[in-house]
Structure 1
Amino acid sequence: MRKLQAQGVHHITLTGADRQTSIDFWEGVLGMPFVFDQPNLDDPDEGHLYFDPGDGRLITIFTNENRKPVHSRTPMDPGCVHHIAFNVSKATWMQAVERLDARGIRHSGPKDRGFMDSIYFKDPLGLLIELACYKFEPPLGCSHADVMIEAHRQRVAAGDDHIMEVHLADAIELLVRRRQQTLSGDRDPKDPY
């Protein structure tokens, strides 16, 4: 038996309402360029809109002019999507409250998640959206996941409940130590003062 090895998210497709609601939200609120448009090849009564969330991957929306936006929360039954999180810069995250408030969009307010900062709000169809901003940059040649797994190990070893900045900093130091060579014979911390 062999795995079917995934190598990243190709795209996420959501069931939308009418075409303009999708364009107004995904491009007009979240700034995702509208990059492709065709019929839903499995249902000719629907449109299929494609948006670039910023990393070249795709968020796609099935639209139907007979479906209207509903503002209640999407189902949270087993198997349903709880929320979708999008990466934003620290500068954008710092403006999120002001910009959501200016549009009258209700939100959670800032949330400190230890390794990232978040804010949550619903799209026009009730899907919970998270804007997330990492509190760290991974060392050159490493991914955010590399830092996260090492920070998790640091957290568990320390007996802490959740990842905090100290675990991230220690994980980054360890990853740099592993990846980057040095001419020094001793890489332990020193006090030159």
Structure 2
Amino acid sequence: MPFRTSGLHHVTAIGGDPRRNADFYLRTLGLRLVKTTVNFDDPGTYHLYYGDESGRPGTLLTFFPWRDAPRGRVGTGQATTTSFSVPERSLGWWRRHLGEAGVESELVHRDGEDALNFRDPDGLTLALVAHPQGDPRDPWDTPAVPAEHAIRGLHSVTLSVSREDATAGMLTEGLGLSFEAEERNRFRFAAGEGGPGATVDVLVTPDAPRGLVAAGTVHHVAWRAPDEDTQSAWRDELLDRGVGVTSILDRQYFRSIYFREPGGTLLEIATDQPGFGIDEPLLELGRALKLPPWLEPDREQIEAALPALDLPAENNPVRT
């Protein structure tokens, strides 16, 4: 396997009301809205990207928030938990903070790590994980969530499957991950040296129902490729292995290919470049609606269909 991902690029989920979605991820979780754009396949809805200051790969949770989306069903063939990395001694602070926001949470210990499990307003399962070795990534610092407690980026995702063997084969042979640990019906795989942002857990639940992707569930999980040449060669290798892979798609801020792992979860390989600074300055990320060139002629119609977002001033420090 010549191609190995260095870790998670982003996770994309389905949300409900976009204003409620932005309020929760900006004000309650303290992330930054680094890009406000639309679903390129359905420009009547937003595509909102939340992450660190510049939206570096490995920090991003993104949403397609449809106001009238039905509630999804969590089950096999899905990524069922998206976990963020926080400092080791911050879980107590986060439990109080979430409680003050009316969010119920549960402290758990798993795989040598303490975690706080909770759900967003649409029911998406999230976790904050305190990795014992720490996380050197710089956080986005806001008045609501100070830097000493702030989210550092993605920690891991959990894929739920009815059986693990074929999924494990795709992770190791298709993405270049390594098997790291097993705990009852949970199998951990890691990219590179592992740690926050480079981990996936495979949870085997043969009696669980098949998941239904809609509001409150993950749409796909994206893994990193360093550049387009690597991505293109990687695509050829997946095709040679008999995997059904899309053509390379232009997502403006990265290039993407998509395929399903055998357990049913939609995966993506996304390039690290060009990044979110190609069409607006760092201090203004997320402030204005950005459209790809082929949608610009329809800007007036698109903007009229989208509800206004109430962004906190600190999302764009130039305002303060």
TM over 0.5: yes
Matched AA of 2:123: G
Identity of aligned residues (%): 25
CA RMSD of aligned residues (A): 3.1
Distance 1:136 1:119 in 2: 17
Displacement of 1:100 after TM fit? 1.7
In structure 2, the residue matched to 1:87 is 85
Q: Does 1:60 align with 2:58?
A: no
In structure 2, the residue matched to 1:22 is 21
The structure carrying a bigger strand percent of its residues is 2
In structure 2, the residue matched to 1:113 is 110
Distance 2:22 2:36 in 1: 11
Displacement of 1:77 after TM fit? 2.1
**What's the secondary structure of 2:78's corresponding residue?**
coil
The structure with more radius of gyration = 1
**What's the secondary structure of 1:5's corresponding residue?**
coil
In structure 2, the residue matched to 1:122 is 119
Displacement of 1:107 after TM fit? 1.5
Q: Does 1:33 align with 2:32?
A: yes
Q: Hey, which bits of structure 1, 4+ residues long, moved more than 4 A?
A: none
The structure carrying a bigger helix percent of its residues is 1
Deviations 1:137-184 (CA, angstroms, capped at 9, x unpaired): 49xxxxx9xxxx8x95xxx9xxx98xxxxxxxxxxxxxxxxxxxxxxx
Displacement of 1:136 after TM fit? 2.7
Matched AA of 1:56: R
- Aligned CA distance change for structure 1 residues 47 and 99 (closer, same or farther; 3 Å): same
In structure 2, the residue matched to 1:172 is none
Displacement of 1:20 after TM fit? 0.6
Tell me the TM-score normalized by structure 1.
0.61
Structure 1 unmatched runs, 5+? 139-143, 162-193
- Aligned CA distance change for structure 1 residues 119 and 94 (closer, same or farther; 3 Å): same
**How many matched pairs?**
140
- Aligned CA distance change for structure 1 residues 53 and 126 (closer, same or farther; 3 Å): farther
- Aligned CA distance change for structure 1 residues 45 and 137 (closer, same or farther; 3 Å): closer
Picking from 130, 135, 142, the partner of 1:133 is 130
In structure 2, the residue matched to 1:98 is 96
Counterparts of 1:157-172 in structure 2, within 5 Å, are none
